Chain A
């Protein structure tokens, strides 16, 4: 029996889809059998980021409405044998599927896969309820901005109501801005949100490039973001991996400051 993890954020544009794609790919790199589910019905993106758009035949609505079997709708990734994706419908609406139907689909997938990564749409309405319906755990993605942290907090509250444990990924950190105090730092965010930190991902132009070419960043080991996503995948698998040092020099200074209790 696999584990279903929903990737959510509340706010849009913080990197849910990128995180889903990279986490899914990174878990596949670790040899796990993974299925990614796009629940952003009407605005599907995961297939584009994964470069699988042209392979889609059926989608999640077709499965829910019985036009095809679940196995027929799964799109196999071109790079891995054990990485699949269940695409969202582009022509339908979030109200065309019910949370119970999504839960049924996720439960079916859990029988065949080690990990189900559910990409949640922005917002906290029907789309969110659909996405969390079948989830066992949640990853909340935020960026170091007040608005994103506020929405993440809201979403964590809602997940708590659904009795789903949330872990946090802080995305698109710019070390130099954190250093000058223009950007919220990691400790501050974790303190407010009071959930376990699963990982931090530095802002990296390669992520944008990779998303546009339909090749998940995590495939490119020269990218810092790729290393961050691989670390996150290892933590999901239960390994203890230390947090990435955002900047080596600053890291040393910080440790010194911490040592003297000024951090």
Chain B
């Protein structure tokens, strides 16, 4: 065997951990596994029953490959496979996350708009209509329906609308019904945000305080 090892065998308190390289081909991996089990680590692997944990890294096994892997290890009578672990899929950042979608039109009763990222809607959301985004929602028009910002749990998301008359507002897991919980000023562009898990409404000009965006403009 030359070069990098594809299999690292470590002893832990309750047995052995096999760290399997997740980039090489399955055949190479099995060849090295057999090699190690039959030859180089023979001493280590003979003797009393040993529990083995296989760590696959990010490799995804087909049923057949899994079988082959298990067989190779079972051939050593003293090895008991305790678990086969793979790293969970990295939380998939959808392609659109963080993107700003611009769309125009009226979202009418029964219609739902769902977007990855932020949404800028040029038009109204009518009662019974829903907009749902993983990021922020900005509506240049009247929000009379339901808006759900940060729908995968982003509690920093905001909902802004030229005319804030929603049936219901949701940010992350917080659901809020006006006017029981808050009232809005007339004729003001406003935004909704979460503060200590409660929905709040404020003038749009205060959004940058909430965001703590430093204002850096050129000019005197």
CB of B190 closer than 8 Å to a CB of A: no
Closest Cβ of chain A to B111, distance in Å, is 5
Q: Which of A154, A160, A194 contacts B124 (CB 8 A)?
A: A194
Q: Mark B84-127, 1 if CB is under 8 A from A, else 0.
A: 00000000000000000000001011110000000000001011
Q: In the complex, which residues of chain A have a beta carbon less than 8 angstroms from the beta carbon of B128?
A: 150, 153-154
Q: How far is the CA of A160 from the CA of B108 in the complex (A)?
A: 10
- In the docked arrangement, what's the CA distance between A41 and B126, Å? 31
Chain A CB within 8 A of B144 CB: yes
A136 and B80 CA atoms in complex are apart in Å by 73
Q: Is the CB of B106 within 8 A of A150?
A: no
Q: Is A59 an interface residue (CB 8 A)?
A: no
Chain A residues numbered 130-158 whose CB sits less than 8 Å from any CB in chain B:
146, 150-151, 153-154, 156-158
Measured CB to CB, the nearest residue on chain B to A191 is: B142
Q: A71: CB under 8 A from chain B?
A: no
Report chain A residues within 8 Å CB of B124.
192, 194
How far is it, in angstroms, between the C-alpha of A151 and the C-alpha of B108 when the chains are bound?
10
B111 engages A150 (CB within 8 Å)? no
Query: What secondary structure prevails in chain B residues at the interface with A?
Result: loop
- In Å, the complex CA distance between A150 and B144 comes to 11
Residues of B close to A191: CB separation below 8 A: 142
A262 to chain B, nearest CB (A): 14
Residues of B within 8 A of A154 (CB): 108-110, 128
Which residues of chain A come closer than 8 Å to B129, judged between CB atoms?
A: 153
Contact among A150, A160, A194 for B109, CB-based, below 8 A: A150
Chain A residues, CB < 8 A from B142: 191
Contact A151/B106 with A192-B126, A192-B144, A194-B124 known, Cβ cut-off 8 Å: no
A contact residues around B144 at 8 Å (CB): 192
Q: Is the CB of A194 within 8 A of B127?
A: no
A150 to B124, CA, bound (A): 14
CB-CB under 8 A from A193, the residues of chain B are 126
- In angstroms, Cα B108 to Cα A157, docked, is 6
Among A154, A156, A158, A191, find the residue whose CB has the most chain B CB atoms closer than 10 A. Answer: A154
B110 touches which of A146, A157, A194 (Cβ 8 Å):
A157
Q: A160 contacts which chain B residues (CB < 8 A)?
A: 108
Binary per-residue interface labels of chain B (126-153) against chain A in the complex, 1 for a CB within 8 Å, 0 otherwise: 1111000000000000101000000000
The complex places the Cα of A157 from the Cα of B123 at a distance, in Å, of 14
A62 to B126, CA, bound (A): 41
B-contacting residues, A153-196, CB 8 Å: 153-154, 156-158, 160, 191-194
The residue of chain A having its C-beta at the shortest distance from the C-beta of B108 within the complex is A157
Closest to B165 in A: A192
Least distance between A188 CB and chain B CB atoms (Å): 11
State in angstroms the CA–CA spacing of A98 and B81 once bound together. 61
| B150 CB, nearest partner CB in chain A, Å | 26
A191 to B144, CA, bound (A): 11
Given contacts A153-B126, A157-B109, A192-B144, 16 further A-B contacts (CB under 8 A): A146-B127, A150-B128, A151-B109, A153-B127, A153-B128, A153-B129, A154-B108, A157-B111, A158-B110, A160-B108, A191-B142, A192-B124, A192-B126, A192-B127, A193-B126, A194-B124
**9 sample A-B contacts, Cβ–Cβ < 8 Å, listed by A number:** A153-B126, A154-B108, A154-B109, A156-B108, A157-B110, A160-B108, A191-B142, A192-B126, A192-B144
**B residues apposed to A, CB below 8 Å:** 106, 108-111, 124, 126-129, 142, 144
Sort A-B residue pairs by CB-CB distance and give the 3 closest, nearest first. A157-B108, A154-B109, A153-B109
